[in-house]
Amino acid sequence: MAQVKVPIVRNILQANERLAAENRRRFDEAGIYVFNLMSSPGAGKTSLLERTIDHLSGRIKMAVIEGDIQTSYDAERIQQKGVQAVQINTDGGCHLDGNMIQQAMDSLDLAHVDLLIIENVGNLVCPAEFNLGEHDKVMIFSVTEGDEKPLKYPLMFQTSSVLLINKIDLLPYVDCDLSKVRDRARQLNGGQEVFEISCRTGEGLEPWFVWLEGKVRERQSRRSARA
């Protein structure tokens, strides 16, 4: 049985890579910066998006693809901010894939987008395995999850360009050693950008905003150079 499963999984991943490459080409041609936001359920993905949209509104044109197993709750929260948002319901699937992103893009006006954010399904395993064509994977991690998570779920830490450690306002009340999180994440991915933040209070968010805006401006410069 195992000899059958391995090629099937390989073929699925290879097919996804082809779709992701098509997505990436489309993003690059449009001059859009795209990041894939991943985390466990409840770590604060949508709260981060709301904070980010509020800060960048009026300067950067944004759109969001929301991935969830059920409901359109998160997409509705984003639309209330005046931002284009498309909801993908996976009906039990634990991650988004390249084909889902292609279909969602057809519902967006990409000609008026500088920054596209893909909020993946809350899961610490599968989303890290599937390329969507994004420029960066961004992981948000809550201190309430415990400092052992880099050891238990290494792939997401290894593949993410950015680690946002959220809910630092709760550190006095939870058993989480930030130095262990940082050290363990650094061992897995020495080039990872790390930001310690609280989406509730706003603490530490400014460096994240600066980093993100720099990435968007870089894409805009490339677009202008081709024009």
What is the spatial distance between Cα 44 and Cα 199, in angstroms, rounded to a whole number?
Answer: 7
| Segments of the chain with pLDDT less than 50 | 1-6
Q: Where are the alpha helices (DSSP H) in the chain?
A: 2-30, 45-56, 73-79, 98-105, 149-152, 154-159, 178-188, 205-226
Q: CATH for 2-226?
A: 3.40.50.300
pTM (2 d.p.)? 0.92
Whether the Cβ atoms of residue 127 and residue 36 lie closer than 8 Å to each other: yes
Whether the Cβ atoms of residue 169 and residue 196 lie closer than 8 Å to each other: no
Q: Identify the pLDDT of residue 1.
A: 42
**Token pair in block for residue 162:** 């950015």
Sketch the domain layout of the chain as residue ranges: 2-226
**Token pair in block for residue 70:** 């059920």
Q: Identify the pLDDT of residue 2.
A: 45
What is the spatial distance between Cα 183 and Cα 59, in angstroms, rounded to a whole number?
Answer: 35
pLDDT per residue over 92-128, tens digit each? 899 999 999 999 999 999 999 999 999 999 999 999 9
DSSP readout, 150-177? HHHSHHHHHH-SEEEEE-GGGGGGS---
